[in-house]
């Protein structure tokens, strides 16, 4: 009904984008809920945390829930899971959101790695405190699902959790520091939006 030609053009563009995504199977609407699916191919690059999450980190985001059973110590075979969680926290601190609280639910590392896991998480907790962010850490032996929720209603489920990056070829190889340049494991990312976000 609008007479504004510029608005009409923008609406047509947006509708065209949605229809294209719907045809590719990337975007679904059912029962008033939004569902977007992103497929990350094996060895794909360009999927750093900012690229994946920034769209959903609006200025009103102040609380984040992370459920991932494998936030463990840095020496676990071929994995850098604590570093991945640290990178995720750095992204939250940089904004544009104003995160004040992060809730982490994970599982204990097995064997001798448990003390290193706790020590690493406590170090991240203390570092976040310097930026005015509280990190609440809880452990569960039965946690299996991986999901990230923001208090603006967005929920992201990643098949591999935060650990979808491949091990860098070396400490001085491209992609070691910049996750956008790091090859990925194949995984699927599902993004949902509902009116209310369930809290832990």
What is the per-residue pLDDT across 23-63, written as a single tens digit (0 to 9) for each?
444 555 544 567 899 999 999 999 999 999 999 999 999 99
* Contact call for residues 96 and 59 (beta carbons, < 8 A): yes
In a domain, 24, yes or no: no
- Of 198, 189, 196, nearest in space to 55 by CA: 189
Domain count, the chain: 1
Which domain does 62 fall in, by range? 35-193
Q: Is residue 28 part of a domain?
A: no
- The per-residue pLDDT for 18 is 58
Q: Coil, strand, or helix at residue 188?
A: strand
- Measured over the CA atoms of residue 42, residue 44, residue 50 and residue 51, the dihedral's sign is negative
Looking at residue 17, what is its pLDDT?
62
Q: Between 160 and 2, where is the model more confident? A: 160
Q: Residue with structure tokens 């999927």?
A: 47
Q: Is 39 contained in some domain?
A: yes
With beta carbons less than 8 A apart as the criterion, state whether 36 and 69 touch: no
Whose CA is closest to 38, among 23, 27, 54, 50? 27
Percentage of the chain surpassing pLDDT 90? Answer: 57
- Provide the percentage of residues in the chain whose pLDDT is more than 70: 82
Q: Please indicate, yes or no, if residue 138 is contained in any of the structural domains.
A: yes
The tokens for 76 are 């676990």
Does the residue 200 lie in any domain?
A: no
Q: pLDDT band at 130, cuts 50/70/90?
A: very high
> Can you give the CATH number for the domain in which 69 is found?
3.30.870.30
Mean pLDDT for all residues in the chain: 85
Q: Is residue 8 part of a domain?
A: no
Tell me if 19 is assigned to some domain.
no
Exposed, middle or buried by CB within 10 Å (0-12, 13-18, 19+), for 109? Answer: buried
Select the more confidently predicted residue: 107 or 194. Answer: 107
Assigned domain for 99 exists: yes
Give CA–CA dist 133/94, Å, rounded: 12
pLDDT score at 33: 67
């Amino acid at each position: 009904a609008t007479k504004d030609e510029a608005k009409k053009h923008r609406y047509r563009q947006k509708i065209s984008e949605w229809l294209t995504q719907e045809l590719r199977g990337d975007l679904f609407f059912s029962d008033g809920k939004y569902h977007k699916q992103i497929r990350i191919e094996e060895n794909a690059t360009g999927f750093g945390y900012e690229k994946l999450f920034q769209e959903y980190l609006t200025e009103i985001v102040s609380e984040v829930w992370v459920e991932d059973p494998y936030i463990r110590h840095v020496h676990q075979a071929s994995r850098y899971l604590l570093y991945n969680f640290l990178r995720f926290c750095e992204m939250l601190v940089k904004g544009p959101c104003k995160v004040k609280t992060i809730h982490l639910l994970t599982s204990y590392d097995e064997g001798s790695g448990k003390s290193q896991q706790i020590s690493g998480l406590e170090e991240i907790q203390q570092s976040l405190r310097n930026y005015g962010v509280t990190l609440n850490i809880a452990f569960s032996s039965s946690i299996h699902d991986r999901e990230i929720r923001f208090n603006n209603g967005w929920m992201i489920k990643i098949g591999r959790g935060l650990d979808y990056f491949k091990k860098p070829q070396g400490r001085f190889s491209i992609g070691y520091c910049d996750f956008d340049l790091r090859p990925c494991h194949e995984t699927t990312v599902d993004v949902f939006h509902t009116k209310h976000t369930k809290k832990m």
